[in-house]
Chain A
Amino acid sequence: MTNISQNEAAASGRPPALPSWVIARIEALAIPVFALIAGAALFSLFLMTQGKSPQEFFALVWRAAFSSAFSWKNTLSHVSPLLMAALCVAIPARLGLMVIGGEGAIILGGLAAAVVGASCGSIPAFFGFAAMVVAAFVVGGVWIGTVGALRVKRGVNETISSLLMAYIATAIFNQLVESVFRDPASLNKPATMPIPDALRVTDLPFLSTHWGVPVGIVICIACYFLLERTTIGFAARVTGDNIRAAQIQGLPVSRLVIGFTGLAGGLAGLGGFFEVSAIYGNANDSLISGVGNTGILVAFLARHNPLAIIPVALLLGGFEASSGLVQRRMDLPDATILVFEGCIFILVLLSETLYGRSDSLIRKILFAGRSK
């Protein structure tokens, strides 16, 4: 059948058909890149209406985020929580769930790590770290796992419930940090007791970034294998594609949903652990940074593929890192980066409509000049 259609195509002078998987691979790479460029173009238009130079903006982003060892340090410091926040969106997305309240798991996981860490000063550092990691993972996992459980047991929309729970998490965090867990020495800015130095995550040798980045990258790779190369991951993807088919096949849909949302929340909690242990040294309201929102964008731009999250998080981490320099040099408000991210987000979502439609376009580009 393929032979005939190819012959026909050759006879009629049209470019030959490509196997569908080739088209799919090209689309998977080309469409997000196109969306990114189109988003940047839209934002450039916005800057021009504001009388600012897009060239200057992108040059500054490049300088602040990617041009030197110092700027890479700055960028990488934003990457670690982004990787985890993005996984917290991407993993449930493979089950067909749009969980976007990862911020709640990050801050509560960070709080749990800080409280456990501050009380584990007297035991060997290894056990102290283990206790902090477990506390952060469990708290984050229970938080987002609850969202999954409410979905499968009660049919509560996970997008709304996860966002509401993020607000509730913020309230619980503020309440606990200002009352029960407050360090009396923190006067103006309420914070928990400081974590002992032995339990602070250190910088990598020879590199100016902390362990959260390589650990995050390894976790992304592990999640890729979990989702793409294991039977559990396959079951999760079947559930995401067609929940009724999964139920008829006898897949444990409830357990899959609760398990994977729990994993997603646990990883977000781990992101909170790294923020607290590597950067702040205690839990204070700097932890409520809105990284969850950027994580949503990272996950969508990566099309919920854990491997693609790594480069996308580097890129967006760079954007976040350049915010300060752009503000100072171009006299732009700090929300500029938010507008930029919003522009990209809209174009990424709009580009969804191109998938499966670009067949003839791709063939035209690939076989340009060869058809005659």
Chain B
Amino acid sequence: MTDASALGMWGVPLAILGGAIRVSTPFLFVSLGECLTERSGRINLGLEGTLVIGAMTGYAMSYHSGSPFIGVASAALAGLVFGLIHGWLCSFRHVNDIAVGISMMIVGLGLAFYFGKPYIQPTAPRLPSISFGWWSDIPQVQAALQVNVLFIAGAVLAFLMAWMFRNTRIGLTVRVVGDSTDAARTLGIRPTRVRVLATAVGGAFAGVGGSYLSLYYPGSWSEGIASGQGLMAVALVIFARWNPINCFWAALLFGGAGAIGPALQSVGITQGYYLFYAAPYVLTLGILVATSSTERAMTGAPGEMSITK
């Protein structure tokens, strides 16, 4: 805390920047996963549960194997399974994807808390980070520019996904299925299969996002580890207009909002802590209110998605 005085109030925006990079990674992965799923015409509200399952699995496997990367891989696998189940359940007639999402959220939380109980105490190896602050002597700058490998991977993934949607056969298939089931059928594509796969891969991304929570920041497994990031990611994708690169910027913005509370706390402002803590939710709601409309369909929205129909 003594160092904070050296920077004065400048410590706050710096801490927010550093926090944005730190906090945004789970948002980034979940929103990329949700973006892929929604582009195929489904919505997966269960990613909140997948996030927690990913956090638990990642932590447990990192603890048992000694390698955080095995943890991340197993978290992705767990997310893949959850996505597959969600996609499969939604393939039945009259089964509502939003309701299934809510139930998967409850199942995910239940299973994660059930199996996660023994891992609350032990310490698992954490993910490494890369220092981009070597040029500066100020510890805050160095701390803010500690960038985790998963953040970089997420950023690359965002650009890769944008490229995939535009230029590859897979991307085009997903987009066609999302925009019109009939058109997809005409082209000889099986819409249900594409949607199930898109939901599964989306779930895997969310699982990776979850493993970041337990393996880097906040960096331990507890039952309160996720607090709505999975849900906010759904809103974030709408805000990003289903564009992966916009998802990246939106995730940074949300991460910044999430970092306001801790940043103010680090310079000794503790008044209204809970309200600052609520900043990401208020921001999400505000963005939803500002960008939704009853009059016009949203630009860029996949035509088959229940939420925009």
Binding site for B on A (CB under 8 A): 98, 100, 150, 152-157, 159-161, 163-165, 167-168, 170-172, 174-175, 178, 293, 296-297, 300, 332-336, 338-343, 345-346, 348-350, 352-353, 355
Contacts and interface: CB of A to CB of B under 8 A. Distances in A.
A157 B95 CA distance: 19
A161 B94 CA distance: 24
Contact of A352 (B94, B107, B292): B94
Contact of A333 (B45, B102, B114, B278): B114
B89 A350 contact: yes
A335 B114 contact: yes
A349 B272 contact: no
A257 to B, nearest CB: 11
B232 to A, nearest CB: 7
Contacts of B284: 164
Given A156-B288, A171-B278, A341-B110, A346 B103 contact: yes
B292 A342 contact: no
Contact of B231 (A156, A163, A178, A342): A163
B111 interface: yes
B172 to A, nearest CB: 27
Given A152-B294, A338-B113, A339-B111, A346 B89 contact: yes
A172 B95 contact: no
Contacts of A172: 274-275, 278
Contact of B289 (A100, A154, A353): A154
A163 B226 CA distance: 14
Contacts of B294: 152-155
A152 B292 CA distance: 11
A349 B99 contact: yes
B98 interface: yes
A164 B281 contact: yes
A254 B234 CA distance: 25
A163 B282 CA distance: 11
Given A338-B109, A339-B110, A348-B103, 17 more contacts: A98-B96, A98-B102, A154-B292, A157-B288, A160-B288, A164-B284, A167-B281, A171-B278, A333-B113, A333-B114, A335-B111, A335-B112, A339-B111, A340-B110, A345-B106, A349-B96, A352-B92
A318 B106 CA distance: 18
Nearest to B275: A175
Contacts of B96: 98, 349, 352
B285 interface: yes
B98 A171 contact: no
B100 interface: yes
A175 B282 CA distance: 15
A352 B100 CA distance: 11
B103 A345 contact: yes
A334 to B, nearest CB: 8
Contact of A335 (B110, B275, B278, B285): B110
Contacts of A163: 228, 231
Nearest to A338: B110
Contacts of A155: 292-295
Contact of B285 (A168, A296, A342): A168
Nearest to A300: B99
Interface residues of B, number: 47
B277 interface: yes
21 contacts: A98-B96, A98-B99, A157-B288, A160-B45, A160-B231, A161-B285, A164-B285, A167-B228, A167-B278, A171-B274, A171-B277, A335-B114, A335-B117, A339-B110, A339-B114, A340-B110, A341-B106, A342-B109, A345-B107, A346-B103, A353-B93
Contact of B107 (A153, A296, A342): A342
Which of B110, B277, B295 has most A Cβ within 10 Å? B110
Contact of B106 (A297, A334, A336): A297
Nearest to A100: B102
Nearest to B285: A164
A188 B145 CA distance: 37
A126 B288 CA distance: 43
B107 A355 contact: no
A52 B217 CA distance: 35
B104 interface: yes
B235 interface: yes
Complex A-B, nearest 10 residue pairs according to Cβ-Cβ distance, in ascending order: A335-B113, A338-B110, A342-B107, A171-B278, A339-B110, A345-B103, A155-B294, A175-B274, A353-B92, A342-B106
A157 B106 contact: no
B250 to A, nearest CB: 15
Contacts of B278: 167-168, 170-172
Interface in B83-98: 89, 92-96, 98
Contact of B95 (A150, A153, A353): A353
Contacts of B106: 293, 297, 338, 341-342, 345
A160 B107 contact: no
A178 B107 CA distance: 32
B227 interface: yes
Nearest to A340: B110
A349 B96 CA distance: 8
Contacts of A159: 45, 98, 102
Contacts of B289: 150, 154, 156
A88 to B, nearest CB: 14
Given A156-B288, A296-B102, A171 B111 contact: no
Contacts of A296: 102
Contacts of B282: 168
Contacts of B89: 346, 349-350
B292 to A, nearest CB: 4
Nearest to B296: A155
B287 to A, nearest CB: 10
B274 A174 contact: yes
Contacts of A343: 107
A43 B250 CA distance: 39
B260 to A, nearest CB: 13
